[in-house]
Structure 1
Amino acid sequence: MPRADFYLIAKPRFRDDPLRLVCELARRAHDTGSPTLILARDRAQAEALDDALWAFDAEAYIPHQIAGEEDPDEDEITPVVIAPPEIDVPDRPMVINLRDDAFAGQCDRVLEVVPADPAAREPLRERWRQYKARGFETNKHDM
């Protein structure tokens, strides 16, 4: 059964820098050996996340790239691929979804980052219901 995990931003270090949580989730996914796809909201977010992953941990490099920027064959073998909306990429077992709509493809697990702003959380409740209706096991984690 596929899983949808919702990570609610609560701690100041994530509230002040939400991409830090995305980097943390990407590192955890990479540590499990699961090829990961990060669906960025837009090109600017993809570039900011690319920069954040480079600087995230001096001790542990997370191999990553923005989809379509290198040789397409590189996208297939790179452990973490960041996809802006204009780039179509194959589904992967692990997906970190930063976009406004629920992930509609096939995966083993999708991670949703929930903003600290209570007003921004209402659309995520609908997304929770969508995943449940598709047969996903859903979980909530306070971060």
Structure 2
Amino acid sequence: MKAIIQRVSKASVTINNKKVADIKNGLLVLLGIVNEDTSDDISWLSKKICNLRIFNDDQGVMNTSIINNKGDIIIVSQFTLHASTKKGNRPSYIKAAKPDIAIPLYEAFIKQVETDLNKKVQTGQFGADMKVELLNDGPVTIIIDSKNKE
């Protein structure tokens, strides 16, 4: 499971000209899933994201998490995170999990983040053509791959 986490001042997701997610202070999480991902990846990645100390404390030092900050999260599925660009100029997405595997893992990840965060998160829609807008705060962008946890 691979995630790109961006600290945002605001972010939104629009599908078919309808805004389906909209937050102010928080995180935008782009999530890519592969066939080998398991519930262990979900649990580990959720805890890592929710506890990342990437928000400023009272002294202006990145020392607090989204939990302490009481910010919001948008989670968006993005199979292109697992693109292979080794050959040619057209990316291959063969590593990305197909929907029958990815959707249940994506939904389980959302539930796990809600549990770890102790609040509802907003999402995009799996497989939809989405327009994602964000104002990256910092900028702060972190890439985490659950396969590199050890």
Q: What's the TM-score, normalizing by structure 1?
A: 0.30
Question: Which one has a larger percent helix, Structure 1 or Structure 2?
Answer: 1
- Pair member with larger Rg: 2
Question: Which one has a larger percent strand, Structure 1 or Structure 2?
Answer: 2
